[in-house]
Structure formats: C-alpha cells, structure tokens
Structure 1
C-alpha cells in the first residue's frame, strides 16, 4: 500500500459559494452531501470521489479539472445545452468522446465516454 488510502475529493475554487452551490445542483444535478461556511461537497451518481467547491481564488487557467463519465454523452450534452450551460461541441478522438463545460466562474470540467 502507498501513503494514501484514496483520492478524497477534487476541489474547484468559486467566487460565491451560494450561487455556485445552486448552479451545480440545478445545472449539473449534483447532490450536496456536506457543507460548511465557505465550501460544499457534491456527489455525482455512484462515484466514490466527490467534487468540492470552495469560495476563494478561482484558478486562472483551468489546468486541473474534473472529468465526469456518462454513457449517454449525447443526451447529457443536449440536456446541458438546453439548460443554457456554456459548453463545447462533442469531440471524438479514437475511442474517447468528450466535451467541456464551464461554470459561471469559468471553471472547466469535462464529460467523457470511452
């Protein structure tokens, strides 16, 4: 075994925790499983790795970002587009299919299917 038991969470900085929590809940349908003053932990499906959003500094270049997995990627793309979520077109690269989504702070996330 190594030093760590698991990856505990992936954390994104947001400018306003209240607005961000509402956006992630409504637009991405993530469930708030824990919250404190300036952060909230969100779950997606049956994934054991949650997404944490924390009020504070927003990463300027999105070099680190979470990737969500969806077997029905075209349907998810259509649903998010219909909600007005900022996103890219679906890209197919070999066996990988993906698109990027952006929260109101410009944080990049990706949805993939492979």
Structure 2
C-alpha cells in the first residue's frame, strides 16, 4: 500500500444554509460561541470546533431542499440529559428521543433548514 498525501482527518464539514445571518446566530447560540466575521464575501462562516475540524456554514447553494432524513453529523457531549433539556428549552424540534445503548446514547434534532443533527454521549470516554 502506498502512502497517501491526503491526511486521514476531517478538516471541515459543510452545512448548507438558506439564511446565513440567522444560521450564524443559531449555531453560535447553540454552541455558546462568540460571533465573528464571515469569509468568502459572507457566504462561508466557520465555527471552530474543539478537536480541529471546523463546521462551515455555506450559503452558496440557493434553493436548498433537504430530502435526506439522515443525520448529517453529531456533536459530542458529556451530559446527554442536560444537552437534551438545553435543546428542548430553546424550542428546537427534536426528531428522536434519547436512545440509550451500552457504549453510547444519543438523540436527534433539526436545525433551521431541516438538517438532522445528533448529540451523542460516548460512555467509553467519561
């Protein structure tokens, strides 16, 4: 097997949004981050995540229709119940209730554009 020049690490995840300003406020509020300036003439906004990978809000795709009901990615948490209550208190639509498994537990919810996101507690890392 030859060595690849591609790093085996996610650098960023693109999340297509219909209203950049609302999405910037929503995600910064969700994650407790301060708002900063956008890049690429306001069409890309980077949310720097712990662990190196960034979440990039991208408004370059107009007329988005999310017919995909699969989870786009997940956020880690050390306290799933607290995270669930936080999302619920914000009035965010919960898609699936907390599902408990031996190693992990999670629930899913929707963002402003109907993207399905997950919050996951990995009990192996507690």
Shorter-chain TM range is: 0.7 to 0.9
How many residues are matched? 113
5+ residue gaps, structure 2, are: none
Following superposition, the deviation at residue 113 of structure 1 comes to 1.1
**Structure 1 residue 108 and structure 2 residue 120: aligned?**
no
Following superposition, the deviation at residue 77 of structure 1 comes to 0.8
- The aligned residue for residue 90 of structure 2 is 83
**Structure 1 residue 29 and structure 2 residue 36: aligned?**
no
Greater C-alpha Rg: 2
Match for 1:72 among 66, 69, 79? 79
Spell out, residue by residue over 1:2-46, the C-alpha distance to the aligned partner (whole angstroms, 9 max, x if none). 2312321011111111111111111333455662221101123x2
- The aligned residue for residue 58 of structure 2 is 54
Helix, strand or coil for the counterpart of 2:105? Answer: strand
Quick one: distance in 1 between partners of 2:44 and 2:83?
26
Q: CA 1:11–1:20 in structure 2 vs 1: closer, same or farther (change >3 Å)?
A: same
Q: CA 1:58–1:24 in structure 2 vs 1: closer, same or farther (change >3 Å)?
A: farther
Quick one: distance in 1 between partners of 2:5 and 2:36?
26
**Structure 1 residue 7 and structure 2 residue 10: aligned?**
yes
- The aligned residue for residue 44 of structure 2 is 39
Which shifted more, 7-16 or 57-66? 57-66
**Structure-1-length-normalised TM-score:** 0.84
Helix, strand or coil for the counterpart of 1:35? Answer: coil
Quick one: distance in 2 between partners of 1:73 and 1:81?
12
Q: CA 1:102–1:85 in structure 2 vs 1: closer, same or farther (change >3 Å)?
A: same
5+ residue gaps, structure 1, are: none
- 4+ residue stretches of structure 1 with deviation over 3 A? 30-34
